[in-house]
Each structure stands twice: as C-alpha cells, then as structure tokens.
A and B are shown apart, each in its own frame.
Chain A
C-alpha cells in the first residue's frame, strides 16, 4: 500500500484537486440556480413560474448522467460547445440546483406569515421584504438540507469522469486499467471521497449553522 501511494499518490492528489474544483464550481452553479428557480416558483408572474417549474421538472425528472451527456455531446449539435470541465460542473450544478430549488421554496414558505405581514406593515417593497426579512430566516432553515445535498453533489461529481474530466474517479480508473490494482486504486478513492464529505463539508456546514443560529440570538 505504501508503495502504491508513493507511486500514484501524486496523480491521485491531482485528481482530488480536480474533484475539489468541480465540487466548488458546481456548488456555485447549484446555489445560483436553486435561488433563482426557488424564487421563480414563488413569483407573482406566471411566465417566471412556468420557466422555473420547467427547469426543476426536467432536471429532477431525468438522470444526471443523461443530462451530462446531453450538455457535453448534444448541445454542440445546436452550436453550443462547452469544454469538458465546464460541461462537467455545469451539469452537476444544474442537476443539484433543481433539488435545491425545492429546498429554497419550501424554506421560504415555512417562514411565519406574520414576518411577511410585519414587513408589509412597514411599507417595505416586495423585494425588500424578501431580501431583508424572509430570506435571512429562510437561509437558517435551508442549511441542514443543503448540507445533505452538497454531499450528494460531491458524489455526483464522480460522473464527470465519464466525459473525460481528469478527476479523482478518472485517475483511479486509469490506475486500475494500467495496473489492475483495483482494491488499492478504488479503495483510496473511496477513502478520499469519504474524507472530503465528512472532514470538509459536514463540519463546514455545522459551523455555518451555528454562526447563523448565533445571528438569530439563539446560541
């Protein structure tokens, strides 16, 4: 095992960095898409609602792998060619964003109605009510489900190997293909994915939850 890590550790580390970058970029895409679609589904204007619902339905109702292939292989037929790195995080981000949109929508709806009414009674505009009063409280409700979703997102990034992005999974498969050290290659990948989730994502989310609770004066 030591020999294995000495020989392939460098490449696995590079793959891990690519995975981390895909994770970070896909998270950014997912957050923006989820916020836009979540708010869009609550819009007073029906075309906005329709667009948001269509997005959520399509990306939740079909598999991530098919979406990835569509964005990488089919979009070029319509004149939109994306580099594989971009196609990778964009697919994962849009897919997770569709689930995130439901979290955004649900948590906005679970902020007590009285909060909206109090902001209304202060003559705040609809957008200010949302931005200053409702969203800050909704975000606190959103954090725990987003923690789970981001772990799903991390696992989802492993699929980008299938369009040739040299992420952790891609490197592990390469090593396996040339050396047949399956247990070592995939075992190491497994451990790294687990550590990324449990040592980075989960504690970071916990810390965020705690600091948000403090801002509500609850801690």
Chain B
C-alpha cells in the first residue's frame, strides 16, 4: 500500500489507543513481522505470547520507536507515530516528531536498565526534570509518590548496584510512570528475576491494571499471570498473529492448531 493511501489521522469514531496498520519489519532478507494489523483500545491490557523469535519484542520496540519499520504506519491515539504529515501526505517521521510522540509511551525492559550512576530517586526524577522540564521539587514529589506505590520509598537513596533484581525492576516501573505515559510496554520484565521475587513485580503490575487507566502491552512467559490480568491474549507465531482472544477463551478453548501445541508445550515445561 502506498503511503499516500494511509489517513493523516484516524477518524474520531475509530481511534484505538494504538493501531498497527499493515506494519512490516525485516532485518535484511529476514522478515520478522509480516503485515501486522493490531488495535489496542484505551485502557486495554494486552498480553503478547509466543515462541522465541516470533517477533514479540520487535512489536514493543517498534512501538517505542527503538526500531524503524519497513512498511505500514503505526498510529497512537489516532495520530501517526512512525510518520508525519508533509504537504498533505505521510512521510517517515524525523527525530523531533518521534521524540514528541514517544513521550506518551513508557517501556520497561527485561534487564531493567536503570542508570547506575543515579540513585533510585534520581533515576525517577531524570525524565521529568530533563525532558518534561519539571522543577526539582515537583519531580521529587511525583517520584517519591511512585516509589511509595512500588514499595521502594525506603530505598530511594540507594544506587541500583545495591538493589536486588526485583527491587530494580520496581524502580524501573516507577521511572517509566514518572513520565505520565498513556501507554506502558513491558518486555518480559520478570524473566531475569529469581523466582522468589517475581511476585513483587507482578503485584505492582496488577495494581497498575486495577487502579490506572493505562493502555498496556506486555510480553510475558507467565501464562497464569497473563490469564489473570489481561483483557486479551495475542499469540504470535513466526511474525504473525496466529490467534487472539479473551484469556478465558484463549486458554480454555484455543482454536488454532499452533496455539494448542504451544500451550501444551508450556504446560509440559511447568
């Protein structure tokens, strides 16, 4: 599809929070995502599951604009994210447009990626002060409130090297939330954690789902957790959405052969 065929904006009565429209991503000759179409509604929690290499991380990274896309357009709240308007048509976005648009998206990584030269509190204040231009006092109030929410307020003056993995991940969630994003992305945020601390991180995400109207997209291998908190499960297979459904439907009555195979395999592994 030609770029000129894509709308400059989505119509007001059809504006999901996120829309992937015919999105293609390849590395050289390797097609990682093929003609992806995916809508995520305001306040929806969508879990992405699938075998290794099926493109789950790539979906999140494209939304964070950490990866460019090779075809199609991604819209955020009806406005193009990966593109911008120039003389009545969409053209690939420049750095300034990307920076403006991705301010409404927050991301948490598998390996936390906290800034090691800053304390937990400073990690949370960095974005609000440096990017949003908040005063130090405002940023501190906001960050302390969030650190309280994730149960890390008593460690606020510690550097990441003094924190456990679970504690670091909770600070990383607070750091992302301090930017007041409307969309949150979680890429296997518990995969690098010891089993006994996974619960403290999933608990924080549970509370986010229950108490905030964030739109969330989460890649996870924890089927039980995904089933508990998601509005929808999206199963990826070889760069395509093989099946998607509400959790009950998805786990109790999967329609596709590949989904059934995958669910059997993860059940056996448990």
Chain A, interface residues (CB within 8 Å), range: 20 to 34
Asked if B223 lies at the interface with its beta carbon under 8 angstroms from chain A, I say no
Check B64 against A121 for contact (C-beta < 8 Å).
yes
Are B115 and A118 in contact, with the CB atoms below 8 A?
yes
* Among A130-138, A144-152, A157-165, A172-180, the stretch in contact with B: A130-138
Q: Which residues 88-117 of A have a CB within 8 angstroms of B?
A: 112, 114-115, 117
Interface bits B36-69 vs A (CB < 8 Å: 1, else 0): 0000000000000000000000000000101000
Of all chain B residues, which has the CB nearest A215?
B117
* Interface residues on chain B, size class: 20 to 34
Interchain CA distance A218-B172 in the complex, whole Å: 19
Q: Which residues of B contact A216 (CB under 8 A)?
A: 116-117, 159, 161
Q: Contacts of B119 on A, CB cut-off 8 Å?
A: 217
Cβ-defined partner of B116 (8 Å) among A124, A132, A137: A137
The interface-forming segment of B10-18, B123-131, B142-150, B235-243 is B123-131
Q: Within residues 90 to 138 of chain B, which ones have a CB less than 8 A from any CB in chain A?
A: 95, 99, 102-103, 105-107, 109, 111, 113-117, 119, 126-127, 130-131
21 example contacts (A-B, Cβ-Cβ < 8 A) are as follows A112-B113, A114-B109, A115-B115, A120-B64, A122-B126, A122-B127, A123-B103, A123-B127, A126-B95, A128-B130, A132-B126, A132-B130, A133-B115, A137-B115, A137-B117, A216-B159, A216-B161, A217-B158, A217-B160, A217-B162, A218-B161
Q: A123-B102, A136-B117, A216-B161 are in contact. List 12 more A-B contacts (CB 8 A).
A: A112-B113, A122-B179, A123-B179, A124-B131, A128-B131, A132-B126, A132-B130, A137-B116, A216-B116, A216-B117, A217-B160, A218-B159
8 smallest beta-carbon distances between A and B, as pairs:
A217-B159, A118-B113, A122-B127, A114-B113, A121-B107, A123-B103, A136-B117, A217-B161
